[in-house]
Chain A
């Protein structure tokens, strides 16, 4: 398993930010999702977040909602998510699962943590799990040797940032704006100051997500963050493609553009 620590160490030694790509499992198809993530890794993604499709994704914008809905309609189950993690981890990328809390809660925290570690997963990002409710998951993850990433937001007070950062291992996810997932015309100016404020509370890498979708934006964010997270823009390429091969090529092209961006 490739760990987050080793990814950020390598990026740092190369004097660049890490590139983190997101795709929900089972999208566009179960096999197609693994192929797309593999293409993203081959074109320069250091970390892949595999989304666990959930029926009520309340912090996701229309693009991810659409992909998740298709994935669930394809019959994606947790076993498929773990299979996807296994396939993607085999490429050598650090592979995370991004999921709302209820599926893990229902599956069983210890059981999920062990299964994810067995599949070669490096950890999780849990966007609706706050420090107050995170103890069972942190314990299960520590037991299985996987990382726990939580989010800070522009609205977070310094006290909250401190509390969230204390729960994180691997990196801290800084949500660049107040809003849901989805590519935007410009990256919110709130992102840079949030990264700065977060650094005051942690030695961990700080990565920025929400609203990043182009090479230029990746370069801008890489100027102040340790990692750049891109999700909806990849999904958009797959949704807009007339067939799977075109989609794969488009995803590969975007990953290459972003990889260049984080190295600019």
Chain B
């Protein structure tokens, strides 16, 4: 490595972290496929734009200047590295297993979404585009996108399902304050999946000056790869920090899975560590039998949604079934193709956590540790409680606390009658 290519002193992330071809052979192939999953099922009109994004990203991730800028913003703007926190009082409810939280809730804007957004906003500049659009469910990706757009002087339009606008009114106000235009989407189920449809319609119309700043590891190639790589910092840091804190790797890593970006972000650095179990927790809503859930990986089937082959909640004729979760961020009937691949390969396992289980974990973490988690992250916490009892007191479990719960106070007030 030449001096000019050397990472900045103590860089959070280096070119090696973007080099791909990891121990699990975990980059998609030339068509954007993870095994049979992924690919591009989009109108031909978008193919040149996707090619342009892919090409520009390939160059950017090899460009030390781009990586330095990304690193600089992660450090001085997003507030990285985020710390690990031991939660002994919470862990008592997990059969004594040691639970350690990766505190993405402490980042600027309060969720892991900021990592991907900073990376893609820099990419937007590099693409020479002046406008970003994004979809949002809980509003966290919308807020993060509006934030990065404000920082870098980009025009910003956020598509958000009308139902989500209502249940996440605070985030709508935040986005507006940050200078973004929020467009409520009244089509279909009026939630995240319909916001994605509408964002694609905007993109195909305005693609010459607009970048679609996709918020999760789903969608057509190269989005699953790009979003993963920008979220990968979570696991890269956490792996290093776990070794420092405990002297060894965790027995298991737990994360909530909606589209799957926070989960891929923390899983990815551990994929080559055979002894580390990877557990994803999907929203079981009112339970599998109720039919009101977002159990895409655990109860869905293979299909195509939003441009990628993956697991989908669909009926026998391929119509998307509306998902349900108390957490808007997990309320999505699809999932990133790499998770589909990790599931089928057996490297990661996926489970359901009901609304009630998640809300109990939400409240427990608040009362025992003084941390109010996002309801999304509470699914991973609930999963870790169950897993701890299963693995026993010798086990160490790393949980991605992907976001903070301030945005969820309205839901919590209703749920707990506060």
Listed in ascending order, the chain A residues whose CB lies under 8 Å from chain B are: 54-61, 65, 69, 72, 77-78, 101-107, 127-130, 132-133, 150-157, 160, 164, 175, 178-180
In the bound complex, how far is the Cα of B236 from the Cα of A126, in angstroms?
41
Chain B residues near A152 (CB-CB < 8 A): 44
Does B287 count as interface, using CB distance less than 8 angstroms?
Answer: no
Which secondary structure dominates where chain B touches chain A?
Answer: mixed
Give Cα A54–Cα B314 distance, bound, in whole angstroms.
Answer: 11
User: B183 near A: Cβ within 8 Å?
Assistant: no
Chain B residues near A55: list those with CB within 8 A: 188, 319-320
Asked whether B317 lies within 8 Å of A77 as measured between CB atoms, the reply is yes
Nearest Cβ in chain B — how far from A81, in angstroms? 10
Q: Is B19 an interface residue (CB 8 A)?
A: no
User: A101-B304, A102-B314 are known contacts. Are A132 and B45 too (CB-CB below 8 A)?
Assistant: no
Chain B hits for A61, CB < 8 A: 201
Q: Please determine whether A160 and B41 come into contact, CB atoms closer than 8 angstroms.
A: no
A57 and B200 alpha carbons, distance in the complex (Å): 10
Do residues A179 and B48 form an inter-chain contact, with CB atoms below 8 A?
A: no
Can you list 10 A-B pairs with a CB-CB distance of less than 8 A? A55-B320, A58-B201, A61-B201, A127-B43, A130-B44, A151-B43, A153-B43, A153-B44, A154-B45, A155-B47
A58 & B44 in contact (Cβ 8 Å cutoff): no
Closest chain A CB from B332 CB (angstroms): 12
**Given A58-B200, A175-B45, A72:B319 Cβ within 8 A:** yes
Those 4 A-B pairs whose CB atoms lie nearest each other, nearest first? A106-B318, A153-B45, A103-B318, A179-B205
User: In the complex, how many angstroms separate the beta carbon of B209 from the nearest chain A beta carbon?
Assistant: 11
Instruction: Write the nearest CB–CB distance from B312 to chain A, whole angstroms.
Output: 8
B129 is an interface residue with CB less than 8 A from chain A: no
Q: Which B-chain residue is minimally distant from A60 (CB atoms)?
A: B201
Residue of A nearest to B312 (CB): A102
A78–B155 Cα distance when bound, in Å, is 42
B residues whose Cβ falls under 8 Å from a Cβ of A: 31, 39-49, 187-188, 193-194, 196-197, 200-201, 204-205, 207-208, 303-307, 312, 314, 316-320
A130-B47 contact, Cβ under 8 Å, with A56-B193, A69-B187: yes
Using Cβ atoms and an 8 Å threshold, which residues of chain A touch B303? 102, 105-106
Residue contact B47 to A156, C-beta cutoff 8 Å: yes
Give Cα A127 to B44, complex, Å.
7
Expressed in whole angstroms, the Cα–Cα distance for A109 and B94 within the complex equals 48
A-chain residues with CB within 8 Å of residue B45 when the two chains form the complex: 151, 153-156, 175, 178
Task: State whether A151 touches B197 (Cβ < 8 A).
Answer: no
Bound state CA distance, A106 and B305, in angstroms?
12
- A106's partner among B39, B47, B204, B316 (CB-CB below 8 A) is B316
B318 to chain A, nearest CB (A): 3
Interface of A is mostly: loop
Question: How far apart are the CA atoms of A163 and B252 in the complex, in Å?
Answer: 46
Q: Is the pair A150, B205 in contact by a Cβ cutoff of 8 Å?
A: no
Most buried by A among B39, B42, B193, B201: B201
Q: Is the CB of B319 within 8 A of A103?
A: yes
* Known interface pairs A56-B306, A153-B45, A179-B205; 10 further A-B residue pairs with C-beta atoms within 8 A, sorted by A's residue number: A56-B194, A58-B43, A101-B41, A102-B318, A105-B318, A107-B317, A152-B44, A157-B48, A160-B47, A160-B48
Complex Cα spacing A130 to B197, Å: 18
Of the residues A56, A102, A105, A151, contact of B188 by C-beta under 8 Å: A56
By a CB distance below 8 angstroms, the chain B residues around A154 are 45
**What separation, in Å, do the CA atoms of A55 and B319 have in the docked complex?**
6
| Distance to closest chain A CB from B207 (angstroms) | 6
**CA A111 to CA B317, docked complex, whole Å:** 12
Given A102-B303, A160-B44, the answer on whether A65 and B187 have CB atoms closer than 8 Å is yes
Assembled-state Cα–Cα distance A155/B46 (Å): 8
Name the CB-closest residue of A to B201: A180
Q: Which residue of B lies closest to A65 (CB)?
A: B187
Give min CB distance, B134 to chain A, whole Å. 15
Interface contact B41-A178, CB-CB below 8 Å: no
CB distance from A87 to the nearest CB of B (A): 20
CA A65 to CA B117, docked complex, whole Å: 30
CB nearest neighbor in B for A156: B44
Known contacts A56-B320, A132-B31, A179-B205, A102 near B304 by CB under 8 Å: yes
- B319 to chain A: which residues have CB within 8 Å? 54-55, 72, 103
> How many angstroms between the C-alpha atoms of A133 and B44 in the bound complex?
12
A134 to chain B, nearest CB (A): 10
CA distance A109 to B47 in the complex (A): 24
B258 nearest CB across to chain A (Å): 17
| Residues B204 and A129 in contact, CB atoms below 8 Å apart | no
- Contact B44 A178, beta carbon cutoff 8 Å: no
